[in-house]
Amino acid sequence: MGIIVNLDVMMARRKMSLNELAERVDLTVSNLSILKTGKARAIRFSTLEALCRELDCQPGDLLAYDSEDGEVE
């Protein structure tokens, strides 16, 4: 997948645990973990908004695009 999720980086910068963030954004720890590890296939804008609010960041701080990973063979 060409989209890279930098959620773990932002959580480390904010010194926030997975459990704490999951509670703040009203997600299960397992769903947030799937997003954090880059295994998620989609994200709702409302979830992205909640993550940005709680981590005090922009969507671009959480998501990046890598064109080399995005090549289809």
Residue at 73 is within a domain: no
Sorting pLDDT into bands at 50, 70 and 90, what band is 68? confident
CATH number at residue 28: 1.10.260.40
Residue at 14 is within a domain: yes
Q: Specify the number of domains making up the chain.
A: 1
Kindly tell me the sign of the dihedral angle through the C-alpha atoms of 34, 15, 52, 70. negative
Range of the domain at 36: 3-65
Residue at 32 is within a domain: yes
Query: How far is residue 53's CA from residue 56's CA, in Å, rounded to a whole number?
Result: 5
H or E segment to which residue 33 belongs: helix 29-36
Is 90 exceeded by the pLDDT of residue 48? yes
Sorting pLDDT into bands at 50, 70 and 90, what band is 71? low
Instruction: Please state, in angstroms and as integers, the Cα–Cα distance from residue 62 to each residue in 23, 28, 73, following that order.
Output: 18, 19, 27
